[in-house]
Amino acid sequence: MPELPEVETIRRGLQKAIIGKTIDFVEIKDGKPLRGAEDFEDQIKDQITDSIERVGKLLLIKFESGLYLAIHLKMTGQLIYQDKENEIIGGHEVPGVDQNKYTRVIFNFTDRSKLYFNDLRKFGYIELIDEEQKNRVWAKFGPDPTNPDFSLEIFIDQIKNRKASIKSILLNQQLIAGIGNIYADEACFAAKIRPDRATDSLTSDELGRLSAAIVDILNKAVEVGGTTFRNYVGADGKRGNYSDLLCVYGRAGLECLVCGSEIQKQKTAGRGTHYCPACQK
């Protein structure tokens, strides 16, 4: 699933590619991802893109009319932009990525460029919402660790006195926005904390290490274009490079890069969770 760094990378790519463009028409190949209005095709026609926003893992394309196109990629969703010269500049790592059997919706702009929404497993969604609806959606998310205003105090205030595992807390989008399985495991490793520890058992020092690790890892992942696993590639057409920096995620059975112990994998918070039994306590 694309997490904060991957979605932010896509946002930045789309910001460069589609701002100021007018939607000519939309082709709906599979209506399952569409939520809300039955007259979606009529409402989206002639909308002019104004900016691209993000909250957590949710993309919001703002139009000059004040409406927003909310897009969540969920597990396998992709946004692929094709310019008017038919050059693919993002979204997938293999040839022939424009219209394929996983294409659900195609947004056609008046300059003949296109934005494809592809989704293998069909968990992603698209919804046209107004400002009031957008504000309600935004309010459901916790603070964003890549926001310059994010602090240790904010982090502690969000998670204090909670007995659930720290892994489940980090995955809770209402508490902290944007963290998924990959970066939760990596942050816990960097902070030397087992992801199955009860949150209220963490010391002040451990909370400080974890908060700093989350901020550092997410920002670093954004800088290198996120982590590529299966379906994800950034909007500049490149694979994310953070996969080269992973210490525990996806490394079960391999040696810890720090101490040489075998990386373990177990189920925590309903998710496959990776950790080093020696480095993390």
Which position has the token pair 């690790």?
Answer: 213
Q: Which of 32, 197, 239, 271 is catalytic?
A: 271
Catalytic residue among 2, 5, 143, 145: 2
- Inter-residue contact 218 to 227 (CB < 8 Å): no
Whether 281 is in a domain gets the answer no
Residue 44 to residue 40: CA distance in whole angstroms: 6
- Distance CA(83)–CA(103), nearest Å, equals 17
Residue 25's nearest CA partner among 47, 6, 8, 7 is: 47
Q: Residue 200 domain-assigned?
A: yes
Binding residues for DNA: 121, 162
Which two tokens mark 245?
């920096």
**Residue that is written with structure tokens 């944007």 in the block:** 178
238 as an active site residue: the answer is no
Catalytic residue among 57, 62, 167, 209: 57
Is 11 catalytic? The answer is: no
Residue 271 is among the residues annotated as catalytic for this protein: yes
Domain ranges, residue 193: 152-275
Q: Which of 17-21, 68-72, 182-186, 225-229 has the lowest mean pLDDT?
A: 225-229
Place of tokens 């009031």: 132
Does a structural domain hold residue 63? Answer: yes
pLDDT of residue 40: 95
Indicate whether 144 belongs to any domain: no
Given the residues 3, 6, 8, 186, select the one marked as catalytic: 3
User: What is the arithmetic mean of pLDDT over 41-65?
Assistant: 97
**pLDDT, tens digit (0-9, with 9 covering 90-100), for 199-256:** 999 999 999 999 999 999 999 999 888 765 544 445 544 555 678 899 999 999 999 9
User: What pLDDT digit, counting tens, does each position of 90-100 carry?
Assistant: 544 444 455 67
Binding site: residue ranges?
121, 162
Average pLDDT over residues 136-146: 97
The pLDDT, as a whole number, for residue 241 is 66
Q: Specify whether 57 is catalytic.
A: yes
CATH of the domain at 116: 3.20.190.10
**Same domain (yes/no): 256, 134:** no
